[in-house]
Amino acid sequence: MIKTPFLLSVFVLSYLFPVHAQVTPLYNLVPYVNPFIGTQKMGHTFPGATVPFGSVQLSPDTDTIPMYDENGNYIRDVYAYCAGYQYDDPTIVGFSHTHFSGTGHSDLGDILLMPTVGELKLNPGTADKPASGYRSAYSKDNEAAEPNYYRVLLDDYQVLAELTTTTRVGMHRYTFPATNQAHLILDMVHGIYPYEGKNVWTFLRVENDTLVTGYRMTTGWARTRTVYFAMAFSKPFREYGFHQAKKEPYVGFWRRFDQTSNFPEAAARELRGHFNFEMQEGEKLLVKVAISSVSASGALQNMQTEAPHWDFDRVKKQGQDCWNDELNKVQVETLTEGEKVNFYTSIYHSFLGPTEYMDVDGRYKGLDQEIHQADGFINYTSFSLWDTYRALHPLFNILQPARNRDMIRSMLAHYGQSVHKMLPVWSHYANENWCMIGYHSVSVIADALAKGIGGFDPDQALEACVNTARNQYYDALPLYMELGFVPEDKSSNSASKTLEFAYNDWCIAQVAEALGRTDIYEEFMARSENFKNLFDHETGFMRPRLSDGAFVTDFDPLDTHGQGFIEGNAWNYGLYVPHNLEGLVSLKGGKEKFATFLDELFTMTLPDKYFEQTEDVTREGIIGNYVHGNEPSHHIPFLYYWTDEPWKTQERVRMIGPLMYHPAPDGLGGNDDFGQMSAWYIFNALGFYPVLPGSDQYVIGSPSVVSADVKLENGKVFSVRTVNQSEENVYIMKITLNGKPLDRHYIRHQEITDGGELVFYLGRRPLK
Amino acid sequence: MIKTPFLLSVFVLSYLFPVHAQVTPLYNLVPYVNPFIGTQKMGHTFPGATVPFGSVQLSPDTDTIPMYDENGNYIRDVYAYCAGYQYDDPTIVGFSHTHFSGTGHSDLGDILLMPTVGELKLNPGTADKPASGYRSAYSKDNEAAEPNYYRVLLDDYQVLAELTTTTRVGMHRYTFPATNQAHLILDMVHGIYPYEGKNVWTFLRVENDTLVTGYRMTTGWARTRTVYFAMAFSKPFREYGFHQAKKEPYVGFWRRFDQTSNFPEAAARELRGHFNFEMQEGEKLLVKVAISSVSASGALQNMQTEAPHWDFDRVKKQGQDCWNDELNKVQVETLTEGEKVNFYTSIYHSFLGPTEYMDVDGRYKGLDQEIHQADGFINYTSFSLWDTYRALHPLFNILQPARNRDMIRSMLAHYGQSVHKMLPVWSHYANENWCMIGYHSVSVIADALAKGIGGFDPDQALEACVNTARNQYYDALPLYMELGFVPEDKSSNSASKTLEFAYNDWCIAQVAEALGRTDIYEEFMARSENFKNLFDHETGFMRPRLSDGAFVTDFDPLDTHGQGFIEGNAWNYGLYVPHNLEGLVSLKGGKEKFATFLDELFTMTLPDKYFEQTEDVTREGIIGNYVHGNEPSHHIPFLYYWTDEPWKTQERVRMIGPLMYHPAPDGLGGNDDFGQMSAWYIFNALGFYPVLPGSDQYVIGSPSVVSADVKLENGKVFSVRTVNQSEENVYIMKITLNGKPLDRHYIRHQEITDGGELVFYLGRRPLK
């Protein structure tokens, strides 16, 4: 008998009898999350099961390798499989335990399981010839996903597969037909972004007839990464075997054993295993897989702590309760049900990472390959910082300040383990992958300090920021320090780097100022003005320069590629001076000319040739020449506030929302980038946006919600209300904060955390 | 100024004024050890520096890969390089930190360093074209070795290289000529028994300009082995670089960095590094390298604990003092100086392994890939048990009972970590390599129990022995249990396996009997009689049988290969029934026929063709048809005691000694096998031998020493004295033990450990 947990009782009561004031009600918001959003086209999300910030993110992989048609023509490259899943794929390879959400490069996909029936197949097969391997066809009608729950009927085997998780444990429930040839495939070769040589080593042990342990060590995006696991079955297997997908050249005295059959230990670069069962009609096989970065015993301890039982529905329910708590942090009313789905799915996507990265006892493998103890904080990994510093970490400072504090402590721990004496750039699983540009940990730190998020040592943080920014070999940084800009002839994407470095330097100056370190403040404020060195008065654009000081020739400010910028052209990325927008506007010729420039950006017709370049610029993600699918433009709609036409910001953001987000699998206009795209949506739905992380200000936009109650960790509630909200009424007539008119284009962080009410009076025509 | 340690003062005083009675004198016996013995031909020893049972065994590698002449003709295969060194090789590749002594298969050779001058070379080059790589020529005149000290002048660079060690730290002292192009090569690819794909992963970090950490993970004989290290320099390097010997297919965003030059982190399958220095004429560069199985920080802790200073001579002295203490455990007088060198070098070789395998804090990586804590014992690794159970572990029960107790605790820890629930067969570095046959841990356990070595749990030990012996898939063991013998058609070397299993089973029975477990005693005593199932009365030999019960046809009892035996033919290995020699003699037709058989064995002329088979049977290791170079024959000279001609044992052992052991690089008649060959010598020099490990008896031989004082850990002294000792006087006229005549052909272990005096009266003609 399962006792109803106290939490559940409270939840049920709250749902039936919502109570206002101190005890805020919990609504059942889980149904408003659609995990399939973003799984079609380039959203790069996954539909599988996970709890908020879960270490295990257990999801179906439909493919992870390039696809070609029967004539060898390219259909889809590995980029489409950053999260292992494409909505339109006809087959499922299996269910693996680790995934990134929304990234534009990838890794992971560890420890794939697949239940099969009949002839044993140990190769995944290919999508065009599914019968060649263990993969299975499935019907979209038989697939469903909710937060912490995924279900699909595997047509080839008539096995119903269900997935749910705790933070560190994936639980599988497979309902079989009657068969004496039921198999569970364990594929240790499978991974996301695979290539010949990605697997470094795998190790497997059958501890007893219901418990298997081991690890998978890979290289690639994370150069040195090991995932340990423990896997338990709800009933003993009948027999099992391990097989080398690629034969090891040395066999030695192991040749004495038939290691392929019922031999309890295997180690090689590329191992696959199978476990055989006899199953009755409708009989369920449950499997628990716990992971660890420390050891198999650490994984086992994680399993024994978080999921000591076999109650799948209880695990599912606990995770969904947890999601419901998180979703209820913002209770919104929207004009349409679809917008509510957009909103809560955005919350869901925003809370998928960074992920918890430590065992239940706080131990984890660090960047230095040593085992560390997270002392008094939760250690997180997977920092996609070039994306997430913009809106996701600022969102955390409102909705998840405790977690964001621990994320910063995790970054500082990373710094302490870094032989480069650098904060994370793009780090995951105890590895720095150096993806993208800048050193945006400093933005996350500055933003937290500006918003009064304590709980970490600010002096240590400043030291980490400064050492990072003074590194003598990181990505053209010495040239930047010497010349005041990154020269394109020495380092590609030089303009983007210069602009991001300059913004980062402003962040460091803010930290220094807060700590009274005038020397550092002045050094980095001076560096933060380096953006000016790139402005070309002749063309009116930020334009890359060469090391001799000359601007590059053959400069095309519409082109995203080879022009000194990355994931953005000069039109878009050239506006990235969030810390000195007055200076930018001045360079651009004043407010009037700047407004005209912005208008042209949003309304021009971009010639076809600019869409034919790479996956990072797609028609779905572009409005005129404004690229919403990539992050450098995310602040642009708000720049009208630095002109005399602020109402155009209100118009733009209300236009962008419905165009770029809709409640369907293809509902994201670009990579979700670990929640940055979703965080943009949340802020804009609420009516404000952190144009300048590192300051305590949010620039006013135009809310799309009817109302919202933001429940803060300090117990207070910050409410957004609208008057005359409708699809047409996008313009702000008046704003009041706690009943008083708000005469500025921003609100301060403390005005949120103090609780209160922000009321937007909306109208159909701009208030010019 | 170096203070004279107290120990040194005591030592000097003791040497000058030897004191008898309770305080026994310490002689300077270090000069009697010649580490070059066994380094020529097939001894497979190494000449480098180590302390007794040291984790680091730091030695020059002259080559580790097969050699061919310029026409591609095979000169020498990898087998010759089991210890990395061949005395006659003209070049030295470098100095690596881990070596096996005397083994017949190999591994290790981790973390090779080589000092060079001039042009930077990162490839070792080949022996026939030494200038093609960083290796150097050297002259035998400029090479010297002592316990814990090795020295060579590297001709190509005019660098004097000196090596010494503590248990876990290798210390290098390189004296350079004046140069601004001094290099230290760090070769992480180099290893013993290398092959394409042996390196699994290597990781390097430059912590600062005098400290480097990292690890090397390999597969091969040890399937999953990782050696972590920390390396410190006595002066900062000027610059450095890391290079992939084999390019990794994935580069990712690391491409931004010039990782080959002054980039402090590297990870790849095959890495080499170099560190550059400017050196004055005669300036010394010291390098310390500590190792660990746990982590780089564990290695660093080992270094900081054992060698916190830069005093090379002090490290050398401490290690040599330690050796002197060990050598003084047996103080002998011999007929010649050469015999004294044989004797003390045998002691030296006997104390090179098993090696200590844990950090200074007791942590080590176990067979299950988990980090374990050695709780109250020293954990050892590298158990070459098929060799060493015969005489080396019995020798430890006299000279190293505390270490042998801990070796047994290490074996039991291995058992606890074994997914196979088996004691070690041939284990090293947290790996079971399954080399050779039988399950001889049980012999080591039984021998220790028979000799009153406590300190481990006998019930746990019995459980481990029984589970090992009942394993359902180990090396034909199920067939042995079913049929009473291993059938040759199912498993090669079946006769050897059957004989070893039967002996092992007798050992288990002894353990069971000691613990009063009659059921187990009877089960295993019955199994121990299985040797009888192989005796073929037609030929008079142990002869392999097939699974249908028939003997194999085309049986050649002289042939070592393909006849059901391993490292021995039926003539030799067929006599391996140490636990029931009466039964063997009876099968062989009684005492008289058996004596004739033994005579023939020692005196026959073995046809040439039997020498042309493999490296394991060489003319150096054979007397007649008696094979001393391999272990299965080591008890044979004593079998005359089971005939009416015991005096022939005395004659044979005095003949074998000088033929098989002499004080020169080619002084060993076969692989030293981690000290088993040397332990045979020590026992025989003292006049007795453990024909049956697992019993408490030593069979009398004929001592070659003039006298010996064996200093026991219990503080007592057991003395061997001879009367009329000479090269001719090999026959025993009389023996007294503590003044009373000894009327049996054996002495008991307790008669040794009680202390006392065994006097051999020798004569020129046998006492028939």
Residues of B in contact with A203 (CB under 8 A): 224, 369
pLDDT tens figures, A610-649: 876 545 556 677 899 999 988 999 999 999 999 999 999 9
pLDDT at A669: 86
Who's near A398: CB < 8 A, 6+ residues apart?
A: A710, A712, A749, A752, A753
- Residue whose entry in the numeric block shows the structure tokens 């699809």: A727
Distance between B74 CA and the closest CA of chain A, angstroms: 21
pLDDT at B8 over 50: no
Q: Are the Cβ atoms of A203 and B224 closer than 8 angstroms?
A: yes
Residues of A in contact with B220 (CB under 8 A): 250, 252
Q: Are the Cβ atoms of A265 and B419 closer than 8 angstroms?
A: yes
Choosing from A650, A671, A692, the residue where a domain stops is A671
pLDDT at A23 over 80: no
Q: What is the pLDDT confidence band of residue B613, given thresholds at 50, 70 and 90? A: low
Residues of A in contact with B294 (CB under 8 A): none
Q: Name residues 285-314 of chain B within 8 A of A (Cβ).
A: 295-297
Q: Does A472 touch chain B (CB under 8 A)?
A: no
Q: Write out the two tokens for B561.
A: 């290969």
pLDDT, average across residues B258-276: 97
CB pairs under 8 A between A and B: 118
Q: Name residues 246-265 of chain B within 8 A of A (Cβ).
A: 248-250, 252-254, 256-258, 262-265
Range of the domain at B641: 556-671
Distance between B466 CA and the closest CA of chain A, angstroms: 19
pLDDT at B88 over 90: yes
pLDDT at B167 over 80: yes
In a domain? residue B219: yes
Q: Name residues 217-246 of chain B within 8 A of A (Cβ).
A: 217, 219-221, 223-224
In a domain? residue B34: yes
pLDDT at B549 over 80: yes
- Residue whose entry in the numeric block shows the structure tokens 């194999």: B552
pLDDT at A693: 98
Task: Give the whole-number percent of chain A exceeding pLDDT 90.
Answer: 90
Q: Write out the two tokens for A437.
A: 């540009």
Residues of B in contact with A491 (CB under 8 A): 256
Q: Are the Cβ atoms of B370 and A254 closer than 8 angstroms?
A: no
Q: Does B715 touch chain A (CB under 8 A)?
A: no
Report which of B137, B136, B229 is spatially closest to residue B188, judged by C-alpha positions.
B229
pLDDT tens figures, B489-537: 999 999 999 999 999 999 999 999 999 999 999 999 999 999 999 999 9
Q: Name residues 419-458 of chain A within 8 A of B (Cβ).
A: 419-420, 426, 433-435
Q: Are the Cβ atoms of A419 and B206 closer than 8 angstroms?
A: yes
In degrees and rounded to multiples of 5, residue A581 shows phi and psi of -70, -30
Residues of A in contact with B219 (CB under 8 A): 201, 248, 250, 267
Pick the more confident residue, B52 or B10: B52
CB B280 within 8 A of CB B197: no
Q: Write out the two tokens for A529.
A: 């003005």
Choosing from B309, B325, B341, the residue where a domain stops is B325
Three-class secondary structure of residue B375 per DSSP: coil
In a domain? residue B476: no
Please report the DSSP string for B308-356 in residue order. Answer: -S--HHHHHHHHHHHHHHHHTTEEEEESSHHHHHHHHHHHHHHTS-SEE
pLDDT at A24 over 70: no
Q: Tell me the whole-structure pTM to 2 decimals.
A: 0.95
pLDDT at A1: 36
Who's near B214: CB < 8 A, 6+ residues apart?
A: B188, B202, B203, B204, B205, B228, B229, B296
Distance between B456 CA and the closest CA of chain A, angstroms: 25
pLDDT tens figures, B23-33: 568 999 999 99
CATH code of the domain in which B298 resides: 2.70.98.10
Q: Are the Cβ atoms of B295 and A370 closer than 8 angstroms?
A: yes
Q: Are the Cβ atoms of A265 and B420 closer than 8 angstroms?
A: yes
The mean pLDDT of chain A is: 94
Q: Are the Cβ atoms of B370 and A265 closer than 8 angstroms?
A: no
pLDDT at A19: 39
Of A206, A219, A263, the CB nearest to B250: A219
Q: How many C-beta neighbours within 10 Å does residue A21 have? A: 6
CB B75 within 8 A of CB B100: no
Choosing from B671, B686, B711, the residue where a domain stops is B671
B-chain residue closest to A199, CA distance: B200
pLDDT tens figures, B412-432: 999 999 999 999 999 999 999
pLDDT at B620: 72
pLDDT tens figures, A377-409: 999 999 999 999 999 999 999 999 999 999 999
Number of domains in chain B: 2
pLDDT, average across residues A16-34: 72
B-chain residue closest to A298, CA distance: B370
Q: Name residues 362-401 of chain A within 8 A of B (Cβ).
A: 368-371
Residues of A in contact with B217 (CB under 8 A): 201
In a domain? residue A36: yes
Three-class secondary structure of residue B273 per DSSP: strand
In a domain? residue B106: yes
pLDDT tens figures, A318-333: 999 999 999 999 999 9
pLDDT, average across residues B89-93: 96
pLDDT at A215: 98
pLDDT tens figures, B626-662: 999 889 999 999 999 999 999 999 999 999 999 999 9
Of B196, B223, B224, the CB nearest to A249: B196
Q: Are the Cβ atoms of A196 and B263 closer than 8 angstroms?
A: no
In a domain? residue B460: no
pLDDT at A617: 55
Q: Which amino acid is at A766?
A: P
pLDDT at A14 over 50: no
Q: What angle do CA B459, B460, B462 make, to 5 degrees?
A: 65
In a domain? residue B725: no
In a domain? residue B434: no
pLDDT at B13 over 50: no
Residues of A in contact with B262 (CB under 8 A): 473
Q: Does B209 touch chain A (CB under 8 A)?
A: no
Q: What is the ipTM of this complex?
A: 0.94
Who's near B326: CB < 8 A, 6+ residues apart?
A: B52, B347, B351
Cα gap A746→A698, rounded to integer Å: 5
The mean pLDDT of chain B is: 94
Report which of B655, B563, B577, B690 is spatially closest to residue B617, judged by C-alpha positions.
B563
Q: What is the pLDDT confidence band of residue A514, given thresholds at 50, 70 and 90? A: very high
pLDDT at A65: 78
Q: Are the Cβ atoms of A201 and B195 closer than 8 angstroms?
A: no
pLDDT at A767: 87
pLDDT at A701: 97
Cα gap A484→A493, rounded to integer Å: 15
pLDDT at B11 over 60: no
CB B543 within 8 A of CB B536: yes
Cα gap A445→A453, rounded to integer Å: 9
Q: What angle do CA A553, A554, A560 make, to 5 degrees?
A: 115
pLDDT tens figures, A283-299: 999 999 999 999 999 99
pLDDT tens figures, B344-360: 999 999 999 999 999 99
pLDDT at B10: 40
